[in-house]
Each structure stands twice: as structure tokens, then as C-alpha cells.
Amino acid sequence: MIAPDRTTGPAPAPDLGPDVLLRVDRLTKTFPITRGLFLRRQVGAVQAVAGISFSIRRGETLGLVGESGSGKSTTARCILRLVEPSSGNVWYRSDPADEPIDVASSGAARLRRLRREMQIVFQDPYASLDPRMRVEAIVAEPLAVHRIGSRNDRRDRVRELLEVVGLQREHADRFPHEFSGGQRQRIGVARALALNPSLLILDEPVSSLDVSIQAQILNLLLDLQQRLALTYLFIAHDLSVVRHISSRVAVMYLGRIVEMADCDAIFNDPLHPYTHALLSAVPVPDPRLERQRRRVVIRGDLPSAANPPSGCAFHTRCPLAQVPSPCATDAPDLVEVSPGHWVACHFPGPPRTSR
């Protein structure tokens, strides 16, 4: 499907199938690089997201993983239109009987309604809560913005939500600085649930928490998903966390999805060299098995998104790439190599040290 030209109106709605809640088609986000103090001029561009496509089924958790700078958070913000995508479509359908709606081309009124269906929990619980507001005002803010209920109704809803996320009703009268990091993240989850959304985007929600608190938050999210029939897009760089919570996993590198499959397939049968390297960096709790594992080491740093490599974006760090080879000249497409298992690599396969 070709990304729409925004000057010619929205693209025709695709057939999503009954089980797909969200579909992203060739989503691209480019940030301009400018110079000059008064007369600013564009001298370059950073392509943070480079034409990615994926779907999320109702009730599942899609884990989006990759190292810092791979475009995960920008993807999330483009889906919600917190930043404007440069091109592409974000199709959303809350009811299987309805026509899909393109979030990327929706006007202000429709986007306001759509945001009741899609909410986000941010990474840093210390920065995402206004320190000058009490918890009651923080959690009730989405209800007030969308003019839902009276003041008493919103007060009752806040206390109900606090109990749902494992806090006490009297916590509504406190300020954020009176809570621990894990409690603040629970407040953020309560705020995201205030409007009864169908899709929750979780942008590294446990990365800033202690390991013991991470487990509590993850278990809370799993419990809420079962109780409230939620669908998650879970963004993380910790693969052990992703394995615990995700149904499927998409691996991003330099703005592109390089591999996508069910969670078991990604962890038991990875096909992309970048996925091999990510998995080999995850520690194994058994010292004997840890010593027997073969490391897949990638060299160098992540290339600049302002000047990405030609061909496969990973070839400058890939232990299998050779020059001359198609790796340096031809960008591989994301193809389905087995049912439900997609990979963008000229030489997919199990871990190998050289070709």
C-alpha cells in the first residue's frame, strides 16, 4: 500500500480483518536539521522512522524492541499523533463492524474522539506527573478534558482507578513527590485507564524502576489486560521483560523493523543477525549455560539517522556482511519466511560467526 499524499485526502480504508485493532502502513517520520539564528534553513534531515508496517490484534501485546535511537518512542508518538508523521497511515478500528479510521489524517474533532480509545504510559514516572497537582487532579484530568461526568463522578472514578492499580483511595489527596517510583508509575497507569481505552501504549514503563518493582508493574499490566480486555504496544530494550509480557515481538534498527514474529519464535529461532546479538546480550541465570553460550558481538556504534548507510542499515555492524555483497547496496524487504515470521535480511538464518 502506497503512503498517501496528504494534499489529496485520506487513503481508502483497507480490509483489516475482524481481529486487527491497529494497523500501521509505511509510517515515516523525518525531523529537519536547521541552521541559522534568524533565517533558519534546512541543511539535512533525520529519518527517525523509515516506512515501517505492522498490525496489532485485539487483546495481544506486541513488544517493540531495539537499542536507544532505533525509533521506538517516535513510532509510538506518531501513532498517537503526539508528533505528526511525515507520511504513512495508522488505521484504527475499535469495533469490528465499523470502518477503519486513519489516525494520521484525522481532523482535530475526530482525533479528540480517537484519543479516548488510545492512551500512553510514559517511561519516566518522575517527569510524567505534574508535581504541583494532587493525584486526584492528575488522574481526573482526562475525564475533565473530555467533559465526562460531574465533579463528584470524577472523584469517585479516581478512587476506583487507584484501587484498580493497587493504591489506596486516600492517596488521591497526595502529591507525586510523596510516592515511590513504582507507585508513581501506578498513578500513570490509572490516568491512562481513566477513559476506558482499548489500546495502551507502554513506552518503557519499567526501565527506570528497580527489578523487584518491575515485576510488580508487569504483573499489574498482565492482570489489567485480562480484566479490562486491553491491547498493548509494549516498548522496551530489555528482552527479558519483553519475553515475560509479549505475544509477538518486532525488532527495530535505525527506524526499520528487521524481524517480527511470535515471542517464542523470536527467542527460540531468531533469523536476523541483529536479533542474534540482542539475545546473546541477555544474561542466563545458570553459570554453566552462560559459559557455554556463544556471544554474537556487533562492532561500532549505531549509525546516524541523518546519514544512514546504503543498502541494509545494519551491514556496517553485521558480523556476516561482506563487501562487495547485496548487503551494502540493496536494502532488504521485510518478507515472511515462515508463517507469521518476518525478517529483513539477505542471509537470514541461525546464529553464525562468519559467512
In tens, the pLDDT along 203-228 reads 999 888 888 889 999 999 999 999 99
Residue 10, pLDDT above cutoff 90? no
Domains along the sequence of the chain with CATH? 16-117+197-215+225-343 (3.40.50.300), 132-196 (no CATH)
Using N-to-C axis directions, what is the helix angle for 211-228 and 181-193, rounded to 10°?
A: 20
| Cβ-based neighbour number of residue 179 at 10 Å | 19
Q: How far apart are CA 270 and CA 258, in angstroms?
A: 11
pLDDT at residue number 323: 66
The residue behind cell 543477525 is 273
Closest CA to 351 of 310, 296, 304: 296
Cβ atoms 100, 181 nearer than 8 A: no
Mean pLDDT, rounded, for 270-290: 82
pLDDT at residue number 202: 95
Amino acid in position 39: L
Q: How far apart are CA 117 and CA 149, in angstroms?
A: 17
pLDDT at residue number 290: 65
Confidence of residue 352 (pLDDT cuts 50, 70, 90): low
Residue 317, pLDDT above cutoff 50? yes
In tens, the pLDDT along 22-47 reads 999 999 999 988 888 777 888 888 99
Q: How far apart are CA 282 and CA 300, in angstroms?
A: 19
For the beta sheet containing 335-338, the strands, ordered from the edge strand earlier in sequence to the opposite edge, are: 118-121, 199-203, 231-236, 61-65, 248-253, 256-262, 341-343, 335-338
| Cis bond before residue 308 (omega within 30° of 0) | no
Residue 354, pLDDT above cutoff 90? no
pLDDT at residue number 8: 39
Classify residue 254 by its DSSP letter: T
Confidence of residue 328 (pLDDT cuts 50, 70, 90): confident
**Residue 112 CA to its chain's centroid (Å):** 21
pLDDT at residue number 17: 79
pLDDT at residue number 6: 46
Residue count of the chain: 355
Residue 146, pLDDT above cutoff 70? yes
**φ, ψ for residue 242, nearest 5 deg:** -60, -40
In tens, the pLDDT along 59-105 reads 999 999 998 889 999 999 999 999 999 999 999 988 877 888 999 98
Q: Where are the beta strands (DSSP E) in 87-230?
A: 87-92, 101-102, 118-121, 199-203
Residue 320, pLDDT above cutoff 90? no
Element (H, E) at 78: helix 72-79
pLDDT at residue number 2: 39
pLDDT at residue number 347: 87
Mean pLDDT, rounded, for 127-139: 94
Q: Pick the most confident of 39-53, 175-189, 271-285, 339-353.
A: 175-189
* 43, HSE (Cβ side, Cα atoms, 13 Å): 5
Distances (CA, A) of 9 to 42, 91, 104, 246: 27, 15, 11, 35
pLDDT at residue number 301: 79
Residue 135, pLDDT above cutoff 60? yes
